[in-house]
Amino acid sequence: MSVLNRRALLAGAALPLIAIGSRPARAVEFTLKLANNSPITHPQSIRQQEAADRIKAATNGAVEIQLFPNNQLGSDTDMLSQLRSGAIDFFTLSGLILSTLVPAASINGIGFAFKDYDTVWKAMDGKLGAHVRSEIGKRGLIAFDNIWDNGFRQITSSSRPIKLPADLKGFKIRVPVSPLWTSMFTALGASPISINFAEVYSALQTKIAEGQENPLTLIQIAKLYEVQKYCSMTSHMWDGFWMLGNAKGFAALPKDAQAIIAREFNAAAFKERADIAALNGSVAADLKAKGLEFVEVDKPAFRDALKTAGFYAEWKKKYGDEAWAILEGEVGTLS
């Protein structure tokens, strides 16, 4: 019997109910670190803290997960190294950024692949997600089953409204550190600059970058509207955060603790998805009220520009026929 099962017996099953509430607090046996790049008020951070609390309660105090949100432990690039070395135990990271280590992990970010959230969740909780998680598993990491929502990404700008691909010509746009992002905005004619999220606000404020692209919720929560003027609803890609773990560290935990952690992280992902869905209903109006000017875009023109530039053909070759077939099986023909 594992530590936790013994503990559960001692704490509950073997004792009369009345003893449970008054049992003495027990020592923490495993202190684990969870890090992310999201502001503390983002649903991702809120639901992660809640999951940590639930895990502590469900393990009767044995597993304490300390949350380090908002790049407290460094940039995404830093935190990925820390996760690999075991300095942190869990880390939520965009699959596109993870692709610097696991190339297959950026596949959900292919331009204009997903038409709506139903298609996203079916693919990511289904075959496409399973394919990516198995690739992640080959690199000393684990990915919990259910990916967290970041959202459909929109382009903001401080210098000029972006309506058509031609408006992106020479446009200095901050993109996260990922070959797919650089390739996509280069194909659209822009001048992408790779910058970790930790530096985005200041990069926009100092005009190192004229614009950036992120889901509306993050534009709101990270207050990027303060340093941006226009917002173009391109929805050019869907991006999510994999809950990653250091495989060796996770395997060293008692099996029942592993099961509780997995259950709670996955349940929290579904709650976070619902939080973002609810925010999506009100966030555009709020951003307008804060002075962000929304711009109508010719969406098909952006997709055509990618096609013409050979973007889909290039990435099909990079991911390979098998992975591409899984993607197209979920979203329809892309190239």
Q: For binding to ligand X2X (CB under 6 A), which residues are involved? A: 37, 94, 97, 150, 176, 197, 214, 218, 239
Q: How far is the CB of 21 from ligand X2X (least distance, A)?
A: 41
The smaller minimum CB distance to ligand X2X, of residues 214 and 232, is found at 214
For ligand X2X, give the closer residue by CB, 58 or 188.
188
Residue 20 identity: I
Closest Cα partner for 243 from 105, 150, 176, 145? 145
Report the residue number, 55 or 141, with the smaller CB distance to ligand X2X. Answer: 141
Q: Residue 128 CB, nearest distance to ligand X2X (Å)?
A: 18
* Nearest by Cα to 303 from 184, 193, 161, 194: 184
Count of beta carbons in the 10 Å neighbourhood of residue 285? 9
239 vs 264 by CB, closer to ligand X2X: 239
Instruction: Report DSSP state, residue 10.
Output: I
> In whole angstroms, what is the distance from residue 9 CA to residue 226 CA?
54
In the chain, at which residue ranges do the beta strands (DSSP E only) sit?
A: 30-35, 63-68, 90-94, 141-143, 148-152, 154-157, 172-175, 191-194, 211-214, 230-232, 238-246, 293-295
- What's the closest the beta carbon of residue 148 comes to ligand X2X, in angstroms? 10
CB of 190 to ligand X2X, least distance (A): 15
What is the DSSP track for 259-281? Answer: HHHHHHHHHHHHHHHHHHHHHHT
To ligand X2X, the closest distance from the beta carbon of 115 in angstroms equals 20
155 vs 253, which CB is nearer to ligand X2X? 155
Tokens of 15: 């004792």
Residue 42 beta carbon to ligand X2X: minimum distance, rounded to whole angstroms: 9
For the bound state, the minimum distance from the C-beta of residue 313 to ligand X2X, rounded and expressed in Å, comes to: 25
153 contacts 237 by C-beta, under 8 angstroms: yes
3-state DSSP assignment of residue 194: strand
Which of 60/178 has CB closer to ligand X2X? 178
DSSP 57: H
Closest of 170, 303, 172, 166 to residue 228, by C-alpha = 172
193 Cβ contact list (under 8 Å, min separation 6): 172, 173, 174, 175, 203, 208, 209
Q: For 148-180, give the secondary structure using H, E and C.
A: EEEEECEEEECCCCCCCHHHHCCCEEEECCCHH
Closest CA to 230 of 174, 288, 280: 288
Q: Which is nearer to ligand X2X, 150 or 156 (CB)?
A: 150
Min separation Cβ 122 and ligand X2X, Å: 22
Smallest gap, in angstroms, from Cβ of residue 98 to ligand X2X? 10
CA angle 124, 258, 80 (to 5 degrees): 60
Q: Which is nearer to ligand X2X, 203 or 331 (CB)?
A: 203
User: Would you say 55 or 209 has its CB closer to ligand X2X?
Assistant: 209
